[in-house]
Amino acid sequence: MLMLHTRLTDYLHLCYRILGYAQGLPLAVVVLGSFLFGRSANEWASAIDRLKNTPHKHIIEVLRISFDGLDQKDKEIFLHIACFYKGKDKDRVTQILEYCQLNPVIGLSVLADRSLITISDDKELSMHDLLQETGWEIVREQSPTDPGKRSRLWSHEDIKNVLNRNKGTDSIRGMVMELTKLQVAHWKPEAFSNLSQLILLHIRNVDLPNGLTCLSNSLRFLEWTGYPLISLPQNFEADELVELNLCHSNIEQLWKGTKNFDELKFIKLCHSRNIVETPDLTGVQNLESLDLEGCENLVRIHQSLGFLKKLIVLNLKDCKSLKSLPSRVETECLETLILSNCSKVKKIPEFVGNMERLSVLYLDETAIEELPVSIERLSGLVSLNLSNCRNLFCLPSTINKLKSIKDLNLSGCLKLGKHQVNVVEMDCFEETLVNSGTAIEMSSTHDRRKYVRGSIFGKVVWRSLNKFLPSGLVQKRSFRLPISGLCNLTYLNLSNCNLGKRAFANEFGYFPSLVTLNLSGNNFVRLPSGIGLLPMLENFNLENCKRLKELSDLPSNSILDLRADGCTSLKYLFDASNLNRSNKSYFNFINCFNLNGNQGCNNIAFKMLKAFMYQGISNNRETFQIVIPGRNIPEWFSHWSVGCSVSVSLPAHSKNSRVLGFVLCAVFVVQEHHRIDKLYIDEFKTFNATHHLVCCLKLDGRELEMYGRQPAFRFSEEFCKVKSDHLWLFYVSRDKYFGTGWWHNSYSQFEFLFETRGPGLQVKECGVRLIYEQEVQELNQTTTQSSSRMSPYEDILIDFDIPVEGETSGTGSRTCTLEEL
């Protein structure tokens, strides 16, 4: 009996292996079942081992019926995917197959319709293992014993044998050899001499100590990551080459003089650290993309680049030695120009002709001092990045003509906020640069003031200025950015620009489409005027504005995420009545300790929360949260606990009172800890955060799956270190965060758990209060009745037993001081 049980167990294990091989393909299960019936367990195991290398002949014959019914080009596409591109990105494969003139758009559709391939939601090409083996077998049958006479080579051993012995033939059309680690290959220098019909070559991590004297001139796609030689073979004349990809190569020079590559559209040499200059590209007039990112020793760009009419993308990011660029650019098809971190580039080319297609211009971390006036030709520019251009002292007035700009990043442009114009000395210059849009205030002995507007950015000739300016003139500067005409702007980053209180003059009233505004790290004491006029503003960053004393004139938008961490002088907050119209509100006040005192922070937090709840919470009003200095859970919370979890039992009468949502609170601190581990930086780089606090829910002991809908608070010590205890207080809508179905179940206990990620982060206390529909209605009625005699927020605060001192009547817009709270 025991022996029978052992035999059955052995067969069961082998059955699982057979099913794993068949991967749910019914045909394979039937064929293999018939073949193995009546055989011993040892024979089953032997057959499975053989199937790994040579699929069952009958299965291949049946599956081949579908292959034989394909058009010739679709057959080629099927074999390319089976041998080279299973698991690859559909768009990339489509591009390569286009080079091979196989019309892949319709071809892939045909293969998918016949279930020969599948395309996932994230565009990954796949096929059943048995179909892939069918493709392999079809190629092997072309020459069962001599791989050099097959159309495709993908096995490392086959490639090694063919190239080591120079056994290749003109039958080979494609070769792919991707190694995870660098390996030395002792190929013959002339190993590719007989591969005259090779059109597709993809190699990774292969070193060639013997060198290479030739490559196929029929190549249309050449990708050799880590190409080990300093140049391509001298006789390489691939007239049909479409893409040349030699990333991480040792290449020093692509070619000397002028070479004609009429079909070449893409050149990619990323991180090829030995290349010093680009070749003459006069003979590559169809080039669409040149990617030289990370070529750290690249010094010069050949002038011919500026005249490539079909160039669409030019990427020179991180070319830190680059100094010389073409003096002018006349590439009317150019859409993307990236010069990020080209730290020695002081001047960019003039834009000539029709440049309306250029939509992305990245000049961040370059050494440029000014932009060319010809930037006005970029009428289609959407994104302009000038962050950390520390020498940039001005913007051309013509930038106002760029009506299509949506993203403008001027972060870290310190000299923009420092530039000054001395009017007194202007009459001794033939040419003087004066800020366009700069209001220059001048007082005279006649006790009157005049204003002159000039153009610092265009070169305006000022002659004999003293003829019309009073003597003894004293100048007071008010720096002003000439960007008021950018009406389609959605993203504006002016962080760390050294901007003070005179930096703006009603600029923000001109940006009706602005969604994200970053003014962090600047020196103003009050917000620039016009912020409240931004109807679309959702993300507002004021982190580390150390001199900022008050927040007022904020927009009453449906969504607002305000970050004021590190605003150490902040004392006054906006009128909380604006929150009446907010569906989502997020406020961060980490290390804003001047808001504290006399329980001020608790009052501020509760005042804002109650304002959010003031006109009633509906399911559309999803969430409110605030992070502010604080040490204790307020008494208003009906349930609280020491530690990181708190439980609440649903009262028996709850079926008669609908829960709209939850107000939760946690006191957290970041203890002393060692430097942040790289693991945390990598894990949270998507969120730009090093610490993560999230609230999870258990219903009767079972954790509710919320798939990213949990309330969460993230911050980064890179920008602001938490210096003492802080309070995280938030409201969440029941339906938004916990789904619509759970209420209909008879749950009796909720447990809220605060999970922490990040070194030193600890939750000390937490609390929760359930918000019922009836409760909010009663509050609203009470507030309405009392509106004629006091502020509605005072009434709400009193109702919730929050002490209020010094409140004044009235519901108009005003600034709330700490004492008033």
For the stretch 29-73, pLDDT in tens is 555 665 667 677 777 677 666 655 555 555 666 677 678 888 999
Q: Is the pLDDT of residue 781 over 60?
A: no
Q: How many CB atoms lie within 10 A of CB 649?
A: 11
Mean pLDDT of 495-509: 71
220 within a domain of the structure (yes/no): no
452 within a domain of the structure (yes/no): yes
- Return mean pLDDT, the chain: 77
Task: Please state the separation of Cα 750 from the chain's center in Å.
Answer: 36
Q: Please tell me whether residues 25 and 85 are part of one structural domain.
A: no
CA–CA separation, 399 and 480 (whole Å): 13
Q: Is the pLDDT of residue 642 over 90?
A: yes
Query: What does the pLDDT read at residue 806?
Result: 32
Q: Please tell me whether residues 664 and 682 are part of one structural domain.
A: yes
Q: Is the pLDDT of residue 599 over 50?
A: no
Q: Which residues of 678-700 are buried (b: 16+ CB within 10 A; e: fewer)?
A: eebeeebeeeebbbbbbbbbbbe
CA distance readout (Å), 303 to 279, 372, 760: 10, 18, 55
Query: What does the pLDDT read at residue 309?
Result: 93
Q: How many CB atoms lie within 10 A of CB 252?
A: 15
Q: Please tell me whether residues 21 and 67 are part of one structural domain.
A: no
Q: Please, which pLDDT band fits residue 368 given cuts at 50, 70 and 90?
A: very high
Q: Please tell me whether residues 682 and 786 are part of one structural domain.
A: yes
Query: What does the pLDDT read at residue 43?
Result: 76
Query: What does the pLDDT read at residue 797?
Result: 33
Mean pLDDT of 187-196: 93
Pairing of strands 659-670, 726-733: antiparallel
Query: What does the pLDDT read at residue 671?
Result: 83
What φ, ψ does residue 254 adopt, rounded to 5°? -65, -50
Mean pLDDT of 371-383: 92
Top pLDDT among 749 and 391 is at 391
Query: What does the pLDDT read at residue 484?
Result: 67
Percent of the chain with pLDDT strictly greater than 70: 69
Of 24-38, 163-177, 229-243, 749-763, the one with minimum mean pLDDT is: 24-38
Query: What does the pLDDT read at residue 461?
Result: 31
Query: What does the pLDDT read at residue 198?
Result: 96
Q: Please, which pLDDT band fits residue 146 given cuts at 50, 70 and 90?
A: very high
Mean pLDDT of 109-136: 89
Q: Which residue has the tokens 């040579």?
A: 54
* Residues 344-360 pLDDT 10s: 999 999 999 889 999 99
* Residues 328-348 pLDDT 10s: 888 889 999 999 999 999 999
Q: Please tell me whether residues 642 and 781 are part of one structural domain.
A: yes
Query: What does the pLDDT read at residue 114?
Result: 81
Query: What does the pLDDT read at residue 679?
Result: 52
Mean pLDDT of 730-738: 75
The DSSP string of 74-90 is HHHHHHHIIIIITTSBH
Q: Please, which pLDDT band fits residue 818 given cuts at 50, 70 and 90?
A: very low
- Terminal C-alpha separation, the chain: 84
Query: What does the pLDDT read at residue 803?
Result: 33
526 within a domain of the structure (yes/no): no
Mean pLDDT of 219-238: 94
Domain that holds residue 662: 571-799
What is the total count of domains within the chain? Answer: 4
Cβ within 8 Å of residue 224, ≥6 positions away: 201, 202, 203, 204, 206, 245, 246, 249
* Among 106, 103, 105, 129, CA closest to 116: 129
Q: Is the pLDDT of residue 477 over 50?
A: no
Number of H helices, E strands in the chain: 14, 36
Q: Please tell me whether residues 704 and 669 are part of one structural domain.
A: yes
* Residues 651-707 pLDDT 10s: 665 553 577 788 889 999 988 766 655 555 555 555 677 788 888 888 777 776 665
| Token duo for residue 665 | 């609170």
Of 274-288, 339-353, 535-549, 583-597, the one with minimum mean pLDDT is: 583-597
771 within a domain of the structure (yes/no): yes
Q: Please tell me whether residues 638 and 732 are part of one structural domain.
A: yes
Cβ within 8 Å of residue 780, ≥6 positions away: 614, 615, 616
CA–CA separation, 122 and 773 (whole Å): 42
The CA dihedral of 159, 163, 169, 174, to the nearest 10 degrees, is: 40
CA–CA separation, 500 and 281 (whole Å): 48
Q: Is the pLDDT of residue 795 over 50?
A: no
Of 456-460, 467-471, 488-492, the one with minimum mean pLDDT is: 456-460
* Among 689, 661, 694, 659, CA closest to 676: 689
With H, G, I as helix, E, B as strand and everything else as coil, classify residue 792: helix
Query: What does the pLDDT read at residue 31?
Result: 52
Region class of 226: left (phi > 0), else alpha (psi between -120 and 50), else beta: left
User: 478, 513, 542: which is the final residue of a domain?
Assistant: 478
Q: Please, which pLDDT band fits residue 365 given cuts at 50, 70 and 90?
A: very high
Top pLDDT among 475 and 602 is at 602
Q: Please tell me whether residues 584 and 471 are part of one structural domain.
A: no
Q: Please, which pLDDT band fits residue 617 given cuts at 50, 70 and 90?
A: low
40 within a domain of the structure (yes/no): yes
* Residues 255-313 pLDDT 10s: 988 999 999 999 999 999 999 999 999 999 999 999 999 999 999 999 999 999 999 99
Of 303-317, 393-407, 589-603, 720-734, the one with minimum mean pLDDT is: 589-603
Q: How many CB atoms lie within 10 A of CB 105?
A: 10
Query: What does the pLDDT read at residue 299?
Result: 95
* Among 356, 358, 437, 341, CA closest to 394: 437
665 within a domain of the structure (yes/no): yes
Q: Please, which pLDDT band fits residue 796 given cuts at 50, 70 and 90?
A: very low
Q: Please, which pLDDT band fits residue 579 given cuts at 50, 70 and 90?
A: low
Mean pLDDT of 158-174: 94
Of 48-62, 128-142, 402-416, the one with minimum mean pLDDT is: 48-62
Q: Please tell me whether residues 586 and 450 are part of one structural domain.
A: no
Query: What does the pLDDT read at residue 677?
Result: 58
User: 442, 459, 478: which is the final residue of a domain?
Assistant: 478
What SS3 string covers 255-279?
Answer: CCCECCCCCCCEEECCCCCCCCECC
Of 47-61, 324-338, 512-526, 590-604, the one with minimum mean pLDDT is: 47-61
Top pLDDT among 708 and 631 is at 631
Query: What does the pLDDT read at residue 291?
Result: 98
Q: Please tell me whether residues 599 and 734 are part of one structural domain.
A: yes
Q: Is the pLDDT of residue 165 over 70?
A: yes
Query: What does the pLDDT read at residue 553?
Result: 76
Q: Is the pLDDT of residue 815 over 50?
A: no
260 within a domain of the structure (yes/no): no
* Residues 175-189 pLDDT 10s: 999 998 999 999 999
25 within a domain of the structure (yes/no): yes
Query: What does the pLDDT read at residue 271?
Result: 97
For the ranges 333-347, 369-383, 441-455, 485-499, the one whose mean pLDDT is highest: 333-347
Q: Please tell me whether residues 106 and 42 are part of one structural domain.
A: no
Cβ 788 vs Cβ 810: under 8 Å: no
Q: Which residue has the tokens 């509100």?
A: 585
Region class of 798: left (phi > 0), else alpha (psi between -120 and 50), else beta: alpha
Q: Please tell me whether residues 791 and 688 are part of one structural domain.
A: yes
Top pLDDT among 343 and 636 is at 343
Q: Across the strands, what pairs with 766?
A: 641, 666
Interior angle at CA 297, CA 295 and CA 302, nearest 5:
80
Query: What does the pLDDT read at residue 809?
Result: 31
Instruction: State the amino acid at position 244 in one-letter form.
Output: L
Q: Is the pLDDT of residue 779 over 60?
A: no
